[in-house]
Amino acid sequence: MTLHRPLDTAVGFSTRQLHAGARPGTTVNPRVTPIYMTAGFVIDDFDHAGDIFNGAEGYSYTRVANPTAEAVERTVAHLENGAEALLVGSGQAAVAVTLLGLLQAGDHLLSASSLYEGTRGFLIDNLSRYGITTDFVDDANSPEAWERAILPSTRALFAESIPNPKNDVFDIEAIAEVAHRHGIPLIIDSTLATPYLLRPLDFGADIVIHSASKFLAGHGAALGGVIVDNGLFDVERSGDLFLHLTTRDRHGNPSFAERSGGLARIAYLREVMALRFGPTPSPINAFLINQGIETLSLRVERQSQNALGVARWLEQQPEVHSVDYSGLESNPFHPLALKYLPRGQGSVFSFTLRGGLDAARDFVNALETFTHMTHLGDVRSLILHPGTTSHNARTDDELSQSGIWPGTLRLSIGIEDLADLLTDLERGLAATRTVVA
């Protein structure tokens, strides 16, 4: 029995320290979704407990559901034009939960080869330990290339909408068609695009993943990951390929497809993957992500404008060999950017200095406004040398295939004044000139 009434002063100190201040169940109405920093929730009465464990509405334990996390889930599902979303502890957790929730030992994943390094490593080194194999498609915008690589055991296609550092915009619509011909989902990691610039589900993707640590939270303070499903799981078409969604459990309970229909996939992720694997986000992080999303459009609009300004400026500098930004008319992916990213082409891109590794080092060390760190999507502008950091496990061949050379630097452009960013970059270029002389 929870103590709701004021405590009697005769109550012992230990009891008072636990119960004197708390008012569980008090109805207040805060405008901002509060941080529900609690492991669990008070159950109304004896019978309600049984109902909750049988799947009735109501909160029980934060690993199952938490109101602060649910606010993020509702918002991102809505912004992505999706049916339902799940918030987990990081972007990596979102990738892992999605893939482990769809594939099992013996299954095959087909992925674009232009990928976030953490995901690429996970597919090659870790998922393989569970008997799930991955092949990579280099020519990622060719439907024929995907078609040729699909095996009878292929259970999903995976790609990023804007891979970094090459900015090789992915043709979602063309490849979604290939996936659907085989009754399997197309999963898009859309972290760099954000739902403000692109909604992959509108173009036929089935599941969208975000690292909420980047643009959604936006201020570099919290980690999180979101999975959004379109709610269109089709038992007729795909039921035989995903037996864990369509067969009854060992107690004979209705299958996920029987209970949740088109929402079978996301129901499985929430009720099995989140519950059993435990990638639970902290309610504090969920709160910070909620706050961040409130200004997503303003930040991403400004970041995209700034990025285009920086890219155009860099393209004109004699020390710069190339700029990989799909917003530039000169970029091979510009036509796809016009189709998929008409509101702006995002904040993250790379450029390559003619002076190679030494120039890159002098450039980075001279900067004052840009922050040197391995993160992106921050309100602050960031810079990193992928070849010696995030991508240091790659061979020279793999690096050049990904558009990474010794002089390549990755930028994540923030919301500072453009003129100040250009002044800082000019400082970097000046440092490379001093060294050459």
Ligand X SMILES: *Cc1c(COP(=O)(O)O)cnc(C)c1O
Q: Which residues bind ligand X (CB under 6 A)?
A: 90-92, 116, 118-119, 160, 189, 191-192, 211, 213-214, 223, 225
Nearest approach, Cβ of residue 162 and ligand X (Å): 8
Strands (E), 116-201: 133-137, 154-160, 186-189
Q: Which is nearer to ligand X, 191 or 345 (CB)?
A: 191
Q: How many residues does the chain have?
A: 437
Do you find a cis peptide bond into 283, omega within 30 degrees of 0? no
Torsion, Cα of 227, 231, 236, 242 (10° steps): 20
- Best CA proximity match to 134, nearest among 123, 143, 118: 123
Cα 270 to Cα 59, 276, 372, 381: the distances in Å are 14, 9, 37, 35
CB-nearest residue to ligand X: 91
CB nearer to ligand X: pick between 97 and 320: 97
Output 123 or 267, the one with its CB closest to ligand X. 123
What is the Cα–Cα distance from 307 to 87, expressed in whole angstroms? 29
Contacts of 39 (CB under 8 A, 6+ apart): 61, 62
In angstroms, give the least distance from the CB of 95 to ligand X: 6
| Residue 115 beta carbon to ligand X: minimum distance, rounded to whole angstroms | 8
Burial profile 211-247: b = 16 or more Cβ within 10 angstroms, e = fewer: bbbbbbbbebebbbbbbbbbbbbebeebbebbeebbe
Please name the residue that has the structure tokens 């406004």: 369
If the CB atoms of residues 213 and 331 are measured against ligand X, the closer one turns out to be 213
Comparing CB distances to ligand X, the nearer of 328 and 376 is 376
Provide, rounded to whole angstroms, the least separation between the CB of residue 372 and ligand X: 17
Choose among 408, 414, 359: nearest CA to 384: 408
Minimum CB distance to ligand X, residue 288 (Å): 13
Q: Give the nearest distance from C-beta 148 to ligand X in angstroms.
A: 26
Pick the closer one to ligand X by CB: 115 or 257: 115
Phi, psi of 352 (to 5 degrees): -125, 125
238: its two tokens:
């795909």
Nearer to ligand X, 155 or 210 (CB): 210
Closest CB to ligand X among residues 226, 353:
226
| Structural contact between residues 111 and 157, judged by C-beta atoms closer than 8 angstroms | yes
* Phi, psi of 151, deg, nearest 5: -110, 165
Residue 8: beta bridge partners? Answer: none
Nearest approach, Cβ of residue 257 and ligand X (Å):
29
Give the DSSP H or E segment for 109.
Answer: strand 108-112
Q: Which helix (H) or strand (E) holds 371?
A: strand 371-372
Q: How far is the CB of 379 from ligand X (least distance, A)?
A: 16
Q: How many CB atoms lie within 10 A of CB 122?
A: 18
Is the Cβ of residue 165 or residue 355 nearer to ligand X in the bound state? Answer: 165
The DSSP-derived string for 42-86 is: --SSHHHHHHHHTT-SS--BTTT--HHHHHHHHHHHHHTT-SEEE
CB of 215 to ligand X, least distance (A): 9
Give 233 or 287: the residue with its C-beta nearer to ligand X: 287
Return the number of the residue (216 or 353) whose C-beta is nearest ligand X: 216
Q: How far is the CB of 122 from ligand X (least distance, A)?
A: 9
Question: Least distance from C-beta 375 to ligand X, angstroms?
Answer: 8
